[in-house]
Amino acid sequence: MFTGESAFGNPCGVLELNNWRSDTELHQITHDVGLPVTSFITNVDGQFHIRWFALDGEINLCGHGSLGAGAAILSKYQLEK
């Protein structure tokens, strides 16, 4: 958790993949994670790509999923905030 114990809001899972998996696999992983949204990210030649899946399928954009993915990227890659 990147916000601390007292934060409220929608949780999301964040998974970094080496390459994209099928939509069916991403949807199954989302169900396994069991949170409202799971953000999947890849790093291709230094460019990050993101997809968001809710429990009922892929969604076009997700604010809290983007924030969670951004926090994970900043933390893992020690990037400037």
Kind of pairing, strands 12-17 and 47-54?
Answer: unpaired
| pTM recorded for the entire structure | 0.85
User: 53: closest CA among 42, 67, 66, 37?
Assistant: 37
What is the CATH architecture assignment of 12-76? Roll (3.10)
Q: What tokens does 67 get?
A: 């924030």
Domain ranges of the chain: 12-76
Please give the pLDDT value at position 1. 45
Per-position pLDDT tens, the chain of length 81: 455 566 667 889 999 999 999 999 999 999 999 999 999 999 999 899 999 999 999 999 999 999 999 999 988 888 765
Please give the pLDDT value at position 78. 82
